């Protein structure tokens, strides 16, 4: 199972990974099982950086963390967010037009605004969490967002016939995926303070709302909407953690 793990790292991050052979379709599908673990790795790297920047002004720390976050993931999900935003606005409820806009490599005004808003919200949320010394919400936001990806592919039709997403969806091990998703939420319940369960609920609600929007507009998901799901979930979980800071966290 080491090859699917390396594939997951290679796809979701810019960490150096060397694969000795071309991954098989089965390996691609099984890589989905390791998405939550990769999210955990990303989270711990950012938390470690935050601790190293302990003496830095909180706003600078927050900005450096978000910058490192983007560099570490290669802006992969931001690209999907931008394409999804452009398609949502420009597609005008037309499925074919929406899918065509998503495939366009150019970034329109809606995509730019979406990226700016997400980055802005992440910096502000992290600024507040850094001041409060709260790092668990960051770890949970990143891990939960990547746990939702195998759940999305498990429950939602992939609407394109080619590309990496179609290989992932077609070769996903369903039983193992259910086990991993359930295990992540169970471990979160067992290993974290019950105050953080609000964040898990936030992730689930975000998933259901966005999945419903995907079905309504294009009848399923694409790689771009999957990326948008990650970005929006991360930002929503962080924002809720800040809003609830004085009451539940």
| Band of residue 246 on the pLDDT scale cut at 50, 70, 90 | low
User: Is pLDDT at 248 greater than 70 in this prediction?
Assistant: no
User: Is pLDDT at 243 greater than 60 in this prediction?
Assistant: yes
* Residue 209 located in a structural domain: yes
Return the pLDDT at 190: 83
- Select from 147, 237, 234, 145 the least CA-distant residue to 186: 147
Return the pLDDT at 45: 98
Contact present, 219 and 158 (Cβ < 8 Å) = no
Report, as an integer, the average pLDDT of 180-206.
89
Query: Residues for the chain: how many in total?
Result: 249
d(CA 94, CA 218) in angstroms, rounded, equals 8
Sign of torsion, CA 137 138 143 145?
positive
What's the pTM? 0.94
* Residue 46 located in a structural domain: yes
* Residue 154 located in a structural domain: yes
* Residue 249 located in a structural domain: no
Question: What is the secondary structure of 172-202 as a DSSP string?
Answer: --HHHHHHHHHHHHHHHHHHS-GGGHHHHHH
d(CA 126, CA 62) in angstroms, rounded, equals 5
SS3 assignment, position 243:
helix
* Residue 109 located in a structural domain: yes
Return the pLDDT at 103: 87
* Residue 170 located in a structural domain: yes
Pull the structure tokens for residue 236: 């929503």
| Band of residue 193 on the pLDDT scale cut at 50, 70, 90 | confident
Query: Alpha carbon 2 to chain centroid distance?
Result: 22
User: Is pLDDT at 164 greater than 90 in this prediction?
Assistant: no
Query: How many domains, in total, are found in the chain?
Result: 1
Task: Look at 11-25, 107-121, 123-137, 214-228 and tell me which has the smallest mean pLDDT.
Answer: 11-25
* Residue 248 located in a structural domain: no
User: Is pLDDT at 42 greater than 80 in this prediction?
Assistant: yes
Average pLDDT, the chain: 92
Torsions phi, psi for 221 (to 5 deg): -125, 165
* Residue 153 located in a structural domain: yes
Domain that holds residue 31: 2-243
Report, as an integer, the average pLDDT of 42-53.
97
For 15-29, write each residue's pLDDT tens digit.
Answer: 998 877 788 889 999
Return the pLDDT at 106: 85
Q: At what angle do helices 197-218 and 95-103 cross, to 10 degrees?
A: 110
Pull the structure tokens for residue 17: 């990974």
Pull the structure tokens for residue 165: 């997403």
SS3 assignment, position 107:
coil
Report, as an integer, the average pLDDT of 166-191.
91
User: Is pLDDT at 247 greater than 80 in this prediction?
Assistant: no
- Select from 51, 52, 3, 53 the least CA-distant residue to 25: 3
Q: At what angle do helices 95-103 and 76-90 cross, to 10 degrees?
A: 140
Query: Alpha carbon 6 to chain centroid distance?
Result: 18
d(CA 211, CA 94) in angstroms, rounded, equals 17
User: Is pLDDT at 163 greater than 70 in this prediction?
Assistant: no
Please name the residue ranges forming H helices in 58-196.
Answer: 58-73, 76-90, 95-103, 109-132, 136-155, 164-170, 174-191
């Amino acid at each position: 199972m080491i090859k699917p793990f390396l594939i997951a790292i290679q796809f979701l991050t810019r960490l150096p990974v060397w694969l000795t052979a071309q991954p098989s379709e089965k390996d691609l599908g099984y890589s989905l099982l390791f998405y939550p673990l990769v999210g955990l790795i990303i989270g711990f790297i950012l938390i470690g950086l935050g601790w190293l920047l302990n003496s830095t002004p909180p706003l600078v720390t927050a900005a450096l963390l978000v910058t490192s976050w983007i560099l570490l993931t290669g802006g992969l999900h931001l690209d999907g967010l931008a394409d999804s935003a452009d398609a949502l606005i420009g597609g005008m409820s037309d499925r074919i037009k929406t899918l065509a806009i998503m495939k366009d490599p150019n970034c329109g005004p809606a995509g730019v605004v979406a990226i700016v808003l997400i980055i802005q919200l992440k910096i502000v949320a992290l600024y507040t969490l850094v001041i409060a010394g709260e790092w668990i919400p960051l770890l949970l936001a990143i891990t939960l967002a990547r746990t939702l990806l195998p759940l999305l592919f498990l429950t939602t039709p992939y609407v394109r016939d080619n590309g990496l997403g179609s290989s992932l969806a077609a070769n996903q091990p369903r039983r193992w995926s259910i086990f991993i998703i359930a295990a992540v939420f169970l471990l979160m319940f067992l290993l974290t303070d019950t105050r953080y369960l609000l964040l898990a609920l936030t992730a689930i609600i975000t998933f259901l709302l966005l999945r419903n929007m995907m079905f309504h507009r294009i009848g399923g998901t694409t790689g771009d909407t999957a990326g948008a799901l990650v970005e929006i979930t991360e930002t929503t979980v962080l924002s809720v953690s800040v809003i609830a800071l004085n009451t539940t966290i």
